[in-house]
Amino acid sequence: MKNSLFDIHNADARNIADYLHGEVIATTITSPPYFDMKDYGADNQIGFGQTYHQYLEDLKKVFSSIYNVTKNDGTLWIIIDTFKDKNGVVLLPFDLASKLKEIGWVLQDIIIWKKDKTVPWSSVGFVQRKFEYILFFSKSNNFKYHRDRVRIYDTKHLKKWWVRYPERYNPKGKALDEVWEFSIPTQGSWGDKYIKHFCPLPTDMVGNIIQLATDERDVVLDPFSGSGSVLVQAAYMKRKYVGFELNPKYIKMFKNYLQKTVTSGTKKYLLLQSDASNQDDFENIILKLRCLKYARVLYNNIGKLFDTNPIQHIVVEDIGLSQERHKLKKVRYCIVYKHDLISRQEFTAILNGIISVPPLSKFGIEPVLKLKSSLKKIDTTKPLYGYTNNNTHYTIGKVKIDTVPITTRILSPIKVAVVESDFE
């Protein structure tokens, strides 16, 4: 049978091999049936009515078939949780991970999905569940993982420490951590006629995984499609999709919903793509802050070695991207110093020692140090902005070389004026 892509099949996930052939799947994102706790309204379903052993063996069969049709750089993301029976807590995520290891899947990470809302049940000795596990597997160690696409670069969602400690923040933004906070969609939020489902996955969370693990036109699979949140998000994001679902009501309602929303959903995705300028802006401000703070740290560290700091001023000029490994910017630092306090040779040796070790070696800056005896010997036609040795994230304003305020130690064509309290 020819590969049946860009479709959802009213078929058993245990029969994936009848529908898919060859390595065609880029990523699989799914939440398997919740063992014997939930009836999904279909005959011969996996989980409900089975023993735990049967359940695990059927899941192993499904994910074995998926392994065979997954590309070598493909991945698998399983949203799953523990549960409790009369014998205590059952470690389903870890039992399943062991089964998948036998197949050849490599467990790369375990993520906590903090979901806030949840099905309101609990039992004695087992509190209400507010999170689930996301098991992240790869087929090989050479897998797609576009982490820069999902970094947090909106400063409204970052702690204000990025202002004073730009060297600690990746210029592309803050990486995702091991806890993802996404609320479960409320029943009915899909639309007036969309069918209710036990646990619809948040489309924003699914979108994050799709961004991480795939490129446009890649194929996304969900063998337990349910409400179709994985498939609909894949369609919005210009990916192909293939799903399997035993309950025909879910399929009918999914197709109806997708038809009504694909235009608006795709538009939202395209707007997100075009919003890359915000990430560029964040990268730009972080690098500016790093360039300036580098000079401030250098000035202050030199001051700790002398009774009187021999540095009078440092003029900072960004001269482009660095070609050195692990360096981001090449920056010229013209250091005006009191040459009567220390020889050029001795001072050069001290400077080279300081910049070769942390913290300055960790700034991602390739410094070009120039020693000057006077500000007037610095050749620059660009306007200069002044900064103190305590603050390089908010300029005191434009300064002239012949009338530099006494508190100004750093001068630069780089202008930043970040109000730290705006990000509390």
Tokens representing 293 are 């703070």
Task: Report whether pLDDT(1) > 50.
Answer: no
Average pLDDT in the 190-218 region? 76
How much is the mean pLDDT over the chain? 88
Report the C-alpha gap between 118 and 261 in whole angstroms: 26
Which stretches within 225-275 are classed as H helix?
229-236, 248-274
- pLDDT tens-digit profile of 353-389? 999 999 999 999 999 999 999 998 887 778 999 999 9
Q: Which one is predicted more confidently, 328 or 154? A: 328
- Three-state SS at 420: helix
What is the rounded distance in angstroms from the CA atom of residue 322 to the CA atom of residue 192? 55
DSSP class of 193? T
Residue 71 has pLDDT above 70, yes or no: yes
Say what the pLDDT of residue 360 is.
97
The DSSP call for residue 263 is H
**Confidence class for position 188, pLDDT limits 50, 70, 90:** very low
Taken in order of first residue, the domains within the chain and their CATH numbers are 7-274 (3.40.50.150), 279-423 (no CATH)
**pLDDT of 238-251, one tens digit each?**
999 999 998 888 89
Higher pLDDT, 192 or 327: 327
- Residue 197 confidence class, pLDDT cut points 50, 70, 90: very low
Cα–Cα dist 375/326, whole Å? 32
Task: Report pLDDT digits (tens) over 5-55.
Answer: 668 999 999 999 999 999 999 999 999 987 755 555 555 678 667 788 999
Residue 191 has pLDDT above 50, yes or no: no
For residue 417, give the DSSP letter: B
Question: What is the mean predicted confidence (pLDDT) over 301-329?
Answer: 96
> 204-208, 258-262, 270-274, 330-334: which range is least confident on average?
270-274
pLDDT reported for residue 193: 39
> Which residue's entry shows tokens 């499609």?
225
- Report the range of poorest mean pLDDT among 30-39, 87-96, 347-356, 390-399: 30-39
Average pLDDT over residues 164-176: 91
- Band (pLDDT 50/70/90 cuts) for residue 199 is low
> Taking residues 338-344, what's their average pLDDT?
92
At residue 232, φ and ψ (nearest 5 deg) are -65, -40
Region 268-273 average pLDDT:
84
**When comparing pLDDT for 41 and 328, which is higher?**
328
Please give the Cα distance from 48 to 53 (Å, whole number). Answer: 12
Q: Looking at this protein, which amino acid is placed at residue 337?
A: Y
Residues ≥6 apart with Cβ < 8 Å to 343: none
- Residue 86 vs residue 4, higher pLDDT: 86
| pLDDT given for residue 190 in this prediction | 42
Q: Per the confidence metrics, is the pTM higher than 0.75? A: yes
Torsions phi, psi of 233, nearest 5? -70, -35
Residue 195 pLDDT:
41
Could you tell me if 189 and 201 are in contact, meaning their C-beta atoms sit under 8 angstroms apart? no
Q: Say yes or no to pLDDT of 118 above 60.
A: no
